[in-house]
């Protein structure tokens, strides 16, 4: 039987509720650039279907700004606007310590002590990942992840499986030696597309998504004094996700 060797973590919405901060930083970048664009919570929820900030801005122009006069080099213009958004976002994470979701730091700590290998698999910009890890987990924590697969490392972002395949290749592992952690339909599709079974924790932006394909669906990873809720299978009720549960889920995931 294959042994669980590595845990692959999505970032936004999974490690922390960062999507709301992303939304505010997009809006700040728009205002700073003199644009009258404002992404409401509801609109941002829809726009999240398009992964990647630059791709999201282009999609917004195409679908919501029919009379926008595009600059001659639209791609470059969007890249600069997005660069400004990244600067605002990383500064924001450095200034205020954004809390990680329940159970994330505890599980990462336990996984490291158990000798499990760790990787990040995300569509967000690498600088955003480093800022979140350094300021919300531990100053040295970027080094705890053997691979940080992020942003433009592959041309096709989630829901394409490419970023997962990229991480598996870098880890020199087969998909069946891993479990992933995701919060969204696009994340589940990317993970499953590469053959990796995902543990899914939903959040306010994703609760209406299609979660079929998740190995287990929870409201969060839980803490000993703050139990989580298993939403996919009430009989599998557990107070929190730990390495022992992950090993059991892993055995189940790849035995059928």
What is the closest distance, in whole angstroms, from the C-beta atom of residue 120 to ligand XBP in the complex?
8
Give the one residue of 4, 7, 11, 108 binding ligand XBP; rule: CB under 6 A: 11
Q: 193-218: b or e for each residue (b if 16 or more CB lie within 10 Å)?
A: bbebbbbbbbbebbeebebebbbbbb
Q: Contact between 102 and ligand XBP (CB under 6 A)?
A: no
Which backbone phi and psi does 205 adopt, to 5 degrees? -80, -20
Specify whether 12 is catalytic.
yes
Q: Contact between 141 and ligand XBP (CB under 6 A)?
A: no
Radius of gyration for the alpha carbons in the chain, expressed in angstroms and rounded: 18
Give the one residue of 27, 90, 125, 141 binding ligand XBP; rule: CB under 6 A: 125
Q: Contact between 183 and Mg ion (CB under 5 A)?
A: yes
Specify whether 233 is catalytic.
no
Token duo for residue 95:
């200034």
Token duo for residue 225:
């004094």
Region class of 17: left (phi > 0), else alpha (psi between -120 and 50), else beta: beta
Per-residue CA distances from 68 to 30, 57, 217, 241 (Å):
14, 12, 41, 48
Q: Compare residues 10 and 242 and give the one whose CB is closer to ligand XBP.
A: 10
Q: Which does 185 bind (CB under 5 to 8 A by kind): ligand XBP, Mg ion, none?
A: none
What is the closest distance, in whole angstroms, from the C-beta atom of residue 43 to ligand XBP in the complex?
13
Identify which range of 22-30, 127-135, 184-192, 243-251 contacts Mg ion by CB under 5 A.
Answer: 184-192
Nearest residue relative to Mg ion (C-beta)? 13
Size of the site for ligand XBP (CB under 6 A): 17
What is the closest distance, in whole angstroms, from the C-beta atom of residue 20 to ligand XBP in the complex?
10
Distance CA 71, CA 177 (A): 47
Nearest residue relative to ligand XBP (C-beta)? 53
Beta carbons of 250 and 179 less than 8 angstroms apart: yes
Give the one residue of 29, 53, 147, 214 binding ligand XBP; rule: CB under 6 A: 53
Across-strand partners of 179?
7, 197
Summarize as ranges the residues that interact with ligand XBP (CB under 6 A): 10-13, 19, 22, 51-53, 86, 122-125, 128, 158, 187
Catalytic residues: 10, 12
């Amino acid at each position: 039987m294959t042994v669980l060797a590595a845990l692959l973590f999505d970032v936004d919405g999974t490690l922390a509720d960062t999507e709301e901060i992303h939304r505010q930083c997009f809006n700040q970048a728009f205002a700073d650039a003199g644009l009258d664009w404002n992404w409401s919570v509801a609109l941002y929820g829809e726009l999240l279907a398009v992964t990647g900030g630059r791709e999201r801005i282009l999609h917004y122009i195409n679908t919501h700004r029919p009379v926008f006069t595009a600059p001659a080099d639209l791609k470059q213009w969007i890249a600069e606007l997005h660069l400004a958004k990244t600067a605002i976002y990383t500064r924001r994470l450095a200034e205020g310590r954004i809390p990680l979701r329940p159970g994330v730091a505890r599980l990462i700590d336990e996984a490291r002590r158990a000798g499990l290998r760790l990787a990040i698999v995300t569509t967000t910009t690498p600088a955003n990942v480093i800022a979140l890890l350094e300021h919300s987990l531990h100053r040295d924590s970027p080094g705890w992840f053997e691979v940080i697969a992020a942003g433009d490392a592959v041309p096709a972002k989630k829901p394409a499986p490419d970023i997962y395949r990229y991480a598996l290749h870098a880890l020199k592992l087969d998909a069946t030696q891993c479990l992933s952690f995701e919060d969204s339909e696009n994340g589940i599709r990317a993970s499953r597309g590469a053959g990796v079974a995902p543990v899914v924790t939903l959040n306010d932006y994703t609760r209406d998504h299609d979660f079929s394909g998740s190995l287990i669906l929870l409201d969060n990873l839980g803490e000993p004094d703050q139990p989580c809720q298993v939403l996919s299978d009430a009989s599998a009720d557990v107070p929190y996700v730990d390495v022992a549960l992950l090993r059991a889920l892993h055995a189940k995931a790849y035995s059928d």
